Amino acid sequence: ADGSRGMFLDKASGSRDSPGFVVWSEVKKDPGRKGLVRDSSRMKRHQRCIEKLLRSYNDDPSRLLDIARSCIVFEDIDGLIACLRDIASDENVVIERIKNRYRPDYQSSETAGYRDVCINLRVVTNEAMGLGAELHVCEVQLLLLQFIQLKTTGSHERYRKARNQRGK
């Protein structure tokens, strides 16, 4: 996020339906501002993990790759692409899968119009290996600001209903 003007949720501005964002490189310059960045790392709820295992993954937990997840927001596609390149070239990261929901042929009706680039990755630093965490897969969503501004509590609920009707 640092070299690509990536943004994170800002505790000090916005609301649940209209969140505010802060550019990470600006936060890094002022350590006192780190407390303003809302922890965007969310764990998937147990009930949803079980639903996905049963509905989508034929009871195979190795396919559940988004238990730990976070998002980085960008004002434009150039910033998103720069961040994706930075992640892909980081020797401390192993990318397991990339879903590009911005592809022109992507069927956005399957996600109620929602689009992102979703990266499932592992962190393989010495520290991660020392903790035995290098095999843990987490998800990082790269989003354009225009899409996240459309994502409200109501729109997410519509997405959940559509997903549940499809049995996913």
In 10 A of CB 68, how many CB atoms? Answer: 14
Residue whose structure tokens are 């979703």: 118
Say if residues 8 and 40 touch (Cβ distance below 8 Å). Answer: yes
Cβ-in-10-Å burial (0-12, 13-18, 19+) of 117 comes to buried
Residue whose structure tokens are 């095999």: 135
Tell me how far apart the alpha carbons of residues 102 and 121 are, in angstroms, rounded to a whole number: 19
**Six-digit token string for 54:** 């049963």
In 10 A of CB 54, how many CB atoms? Answer: 11
Tell me how far apart the alpha carbons of residues 19 and 9 are, in angstroms, rounded to a whole number: 7
* Domains of the chain and CATH, by start: 2-166 (3.30.460)
**Six-digit token string for 40:** 């965007």
**DSSP-derived secondary structure letter, 58:** T
Q: Of 122, 118, 121, which is closest to residue 143 (Cα–Cα)?
A: 118
- E strand or H helix that includes residue 54: helix 46-55
Give this prediction's pTM. Answer: 0.77
In 10 A of CB 2, how many CB atoms? Answer: 12
Give me the tens of pLDDT residue by residue for the chain, a chain 168 residues long: 778 889 888 776 655 556 678 888 887 787 777 666 765 566 667 677 678 777 777 877 777 666 778 889 999 999 999 999 999 999 999 999 999 999 999 988 777 777 899 999 999 999 989 988 888 888 999 999 988 777 665 666 666 676 667 666
